[in-house]
Amino acid sequence: MLNNIWSTENGSYWVDFSTENTTLGSLSGATIIAYDDKLLLYGGLDANGSVVSNPYMESIDEGLSWSVPDTLYNRLRQMNISAAGDTTYINYAPRAYQSVLNVVVDNTAKGYSDHLIYLIGGINPRASKVYKDVWVGKLNRLSFPTDED
């Protein structure tokens, strides 16, 4: 039962979708949020207790199937520019048990809103590593004014 995928529309009648979903294995410590009409999954531990190698997956069908998105959307890195003008990149380390927030900042005066994702902290229990960093990202197309008035 722990590896099964269940869904309900009314809280009374439940349907087991485990046979339809073969794209996501057993995970613990993963975080899921709704963003841009999709479910986004961050991090987690596999059945062996190791941090999953891909820190980001998405579902466009309410969790029935999962995939790794195009690499244009799948880049989590921070750019640091030193005083000497050198550029270095810090890569996001895969982890589990992180907090993920979907924050909408209303810029009504400018005619749009920013839809931000915050990834906060997390752990890698195998490496005895506790993360205290905060990462912020967004899809730029969600921040442009729309003509839907």
C-alpha to C-alpha distance for 99 and 30, rounded to whole angstroms = 9
Q: What is the value of pTM for the model shown?
A: 0.74
pLDDT score for 77: 62
C-alpha to C-alpha distance for 51 and 127, rounded to whole angstroms = 10
Residue 7 lies in a domain: no
Residue 4 lies in a domain: no
Residue 93 lies in a domain: yes
pLDDT grade for 2, boundaries at 50, 70 and 90: low
The mean per-residue pLDDT over the stretch 28-41 comes to 91
Residue 149 lies in a domain: no
Q: Which residues of 35-71 are buried (b: 16+ CB within 10 A; e: fewer)?
A: beeebbbbbbbeeeeebbeebbbbbeeebebbeeeee
Residue 145 lies in a domain: no
Residue among 111, 123, 108 at smallest CA distance from 30: 123
Residue 94 lies in a domain: yes
pLDDT score for 66: 86
| Average per-residue pLDDT for the chain | 80
pLDDT grade for 124, boundaries at 50, 70 and 90: very high
Residue 29 lies in a domain: yes
pLDDT score for 149: 47
Task: Please write the tens of the pLDDT for every residue from 61-111.
Answer: 888 888 888 766 556 666 666 777 777 777 788 899 999 998 888 777 777
pLDDT score for 32: 92
Q: Report the number of distinct structural domains present in the chain.
A: 1
Q: Range of 105's domain?
A: 16-137
Residue 1 lies in a domain: no
